Amino acid sequence: MGDYDAPSRQTRLYVNGALVGRLDGVTLWQAATPGPFVIGASKWLGNRVDHFAGSVDDVRAYATALDEYEISRLHHTAALAGRD
């Protein structure tokens, strides 16, 4: 799982609920641009491009960055449900 925390300008990467990487000083990502929320493709000059060739499973979007405890809890809840 990855998350972006705009106030701290930090991106974090989690694997199996544990923090494995962090990048500071990340420039704001323009997620607030008008249009639909899309997973699996990019948009360039108004057209959908770079379509993901695989499948995507269990996508969630939150209005705020989750902390390490919340991410760990999400991972362990999924693992208990047999989705790990």
Rounded-to-integer distance, Cα 63 and Cα 4, Å: 11
Put simply, whether the predicted model's pTM sits higher than 0.85 gets the answer: no
Cα(3)–Cα(8) distance, rounded to whole angstroms?
Answer: 12
How confident is the model over 21-48, as a mean pLDDT? Answer: 78
The better pLDDT of the pair 25, 30 is held by 25
Range of the domain at 40: 2-80
CB 66 within 8 A of CB 3: yes
Q: What is the mean pLDDT of residues 54-61?
A: 81
Chain segment 6-18, per-residue pLDDT in tens: 888 888 888 877 8
Q: Count up the domains in the chain and report the number.
A: 1
